Amino acid sequence: MIDASHDIPAIALRGLSLRYGRHVALHPLTLDVPKAEVFGFLGHNGAGKTTTIRLLTTLLAPTHGAARVAGYDITTQAMQVRANIGYLPENVRLYDRFSTRENLTFFARLSGVQDARRRVDEVLERLGIADLSNRRVGSFSKGMRQRVGLAQAILHDPQVLFLDEPTSGLDPVGVRHLRQMIDQLRAEGMTIFMNTHLLSEVASSCSSIGVLAHGRLVFHDKVSAIAGYDERRLEELYVSVVRQEDAV
Ligand SMILES: Nc1ncnc2c1ncn2[C@@H]1O[C@H](COP(=O)(O)OP(=O)(O)OP(=O)(O)O)[C@@H](O)[C@H]1O
């Protein structure tokens, strides 16, 4: 049983698992992510990272186990979970024929945001993308779409933000811009759970790290606890824990 008081972690998994038919995509996973942390979730292709995010965002129901996000149970309080999380999927879905402002106003109203127009302006300013307001998103680069997607994900001021490979396919300027946004949101107290393949992303943005291999958590620690935690050290660590798992 997970405590539902205010001191609980922003994200708490207890033996959470998922099978697709006979295939175990996620073995029982127990993990806490404290509030206002950026958690980097690493793992090879097919390790189970997206499956974990889909469980925590209530898009999939677990086969076994439980989890709380922002204090709410993902199975019995799915609506409350959804009201308190933002999700930026790898490929952002926007209405190409509409402007940034029109897209965001539509999504803000859909999620019941009060005074949607004012809130959209506020988020555009906060993320430094007011210059994109009146442009149609159909003409946007991947980096611009990601920025609008992030704005969409935080319109309702969620406590917890899930990012699935947020910088995948972005050029260095796009990566830098998104990182700055993530740093800013964390500084404001948001908890961020980020799937990534990039060790540079973990070294620059994350406070703690988990490594998943074949659906099992094979490493979990604070990034600062890894001696000399630069990108190279993280790479050595990543390769060693994934190799150990392969040898089992
Ligand atoms: N809808 C599905 N039906 C059956 N198997 C699935 C389904 N979705 C994912 N899988 C399988 O579950 C496993 C975990 O997939 P998942 O997408 O969670 O991995 P991932 O770590 O996010 O990979 P990537 O880094 O490539 O995005 C993989 O073996 C995948 O083939």
Domain end call among 157, 173, 206: 157
The tens digit of pLDDT for each residue in 162-189 reads 999 988 878 888 888 888 888 889 998 9
What per-residue confidence (pLDDT) applies to 173?
82
Closest C-alpha residue for ligand 1 atom 9: 51
Residue 208 sits in a domain whose CATH number is 3.40.50.300
Q: At what angle do helices 142-154 and 100-110 cross, to 10 degrees?
A: 30
Give the residue with greater pLDDT, 220 vs 198.
220
Closest C-alpha residue for ligand 1 atom 28: 46
What per-residue confidence (pLDDT) applies to 36?
93
Q: Which domain holds residue 226?
A: 1-84+160-248
Residue 83 has pLDDT above 90, yes or no: yes
Q: What is the DSSP string of 125-190?
A: HHTT-GGGTTSBGGG--HHHHHHHHHHHHHTT--SEEEEESTTTT--HHHHHHHHHHHHHHHHTT-
Rounded to the nearest angstrom, the distance between the alpha carbon of 195 and the centre of ligand 1 is 13
Domain end call among 114, 133, 157: 157
Model's pTM, two decimal places?
0.89
Q: What is the DSSP string of the chain?
A: ----STTS-SEEEEEEEEEETTEEEEEEEEEEE-TT-EEEEEE-TTSSHHHHHHHHTTSS--SEEEEEETTEETTT-HHHHHHTEEEE-SS----TTSBHHHHHHHHHHHTT-TTHHHHHHHHHHHTT-GGGTTSBGGG--HHHHHHHHHHHHHTT--SEEEEESTTTT--HHHHHHHHHHHHHHHHTT-EEEEE-S-HHHHHHH-SEEEEEETTEEEEEEEGGGSTT-SHHHHHHHHHHHHHHHHH-
CA distance 200 to 203: 5
Answer yes or no: do 79 and 184 share one domain.
yes
Residue 52 has pLDDT above 90, yes or no: yes
Answer yes or no: do 125 and 241 share one domain.
no
Q: List pocket residues of ligand 1, CB cut-off 6 Å.
A: 20, 23, 25, 43, 45-51
Q: What is the mean pLDDT of the chain?
A: 89
Give the residue with greater pLDDT, 202 vs 245.
202
Q: What is the dihedral of CA 93, 96, 100, 102, to 10 degrees?
A: -100
Answer yes or no: do 151 and 165 share one domain.
no
The tens digit of pLDDT for each residue in 84-137 reads 999 999 888 999 999 999 999 999 999 889 999 999 999 999 888 899 999 999
Answer yes or no: do 178 and 246 share one domain.
yes
Q: How confident is the model at residue 244 (pLDDT cuts 50, 70, 90)?
A: low
Closest C-alpha residue for ligand 1 atom 7: 20
Closest C-alpha residue for ligand 1 atom 6: 20
Percent of the chain with pLDDT over 70: 93
Q: How many domains does the chain have?
A: 2
Pairing mode, strands 11-20 and 23-33: antiparallel
Among 17, 19, 23, which is best to mutate for testing ligand 1, by the most ligand atoms less than 8 A from CB?
23
Domain end call among 123, 157, 191: 157
Average pLDDT over residues 148-174: 90
Neighbours of 214 (CB within 10 A): 18
Closest CA to 73 of 87, 84, 128, 113: 84
What per-residue confidence (pLDDT) applies to 245?
64
ipTM reported for the complex surpasses 0.90? yes
CA 123 to mean position of chain CA atoms: 18
